[in-house]
């Protein structure tokens, strides 16, 4: 199974983090995640974050420092996840792919069930 690069946005505002609930009809549906998606050919990871967040959330973000990376593999996917801090530049969030979302503090992460790769990165925040 080929490994896929995925870029995810850790969107911050007022000491809170934006999380989104995966569509129940998708792989790992119902789990919360930091939004993002698959890197296209000839695209930097930063460009991936900007494109995916525009597609999924209808907002423009400024990509900042990279927080870290995680690997996740199961019987359906093999991904190398890259996490970047982001700030909203413009737009209002519209959930085009997710079922729900929340702005949460670090202490509130424990109240949500995260997809496995994302749950591992939380310890770095």
Per-residue model confidence (pLDDT) at position 1 = 86
Per-residue model confidence (pLDDT) at position 117 = 80
Cβ neighbours of residue 29 closer than 8 Å, sequence gap 6 or more? 22, 23
Paired strand residues for 72: 79
Boundaries of domain holding 72: 4-124
Q: When comparing pLDDT for 56 and 118, which is higher?
A: 56
pTM above threshold 0.75: yes
Q: What are the φ/ψ torsions at residue 57 (nearest 5 degrees)?
A: -125, -5
Structural domains counted in the chain = 1
Query: Looking at residue 55, what DSSP letter applies?
Result: H
CATH of the domain at 41: 3.90.79.10
Interval 49-108: pLDDT, tens: 999 999 999 999 999 999 999 999 999 899 999 999 999 999 999 999 999 999 999 999
């Amino acid at each position: 199974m080929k490994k896929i690069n995925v870029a995810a946005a850790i969107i911050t505002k007022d000491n809170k983090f934006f999380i989104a609930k995966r569509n129940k009809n998708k792989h790992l549906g119902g789990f919360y995640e930091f939004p993002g998606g698959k890197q296209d050919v000839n695209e930097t990871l930063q460009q991936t974050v900007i494109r995916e967040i525009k597609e999924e959330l209808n907002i423009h973000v400024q990509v900042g420092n990279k927080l870290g990376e995680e690997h996740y593999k199961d019987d359906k996917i093999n991904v190398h996840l890259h996490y970047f801090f982001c700030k909203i530049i413009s737009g209002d969030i519209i959930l085009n792919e997710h079922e729900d979302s929340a702005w949460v503090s670090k202490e509130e992460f424990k109240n949500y069930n995260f997809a496995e790769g994302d749950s591992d990165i939380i310890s770095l925040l």
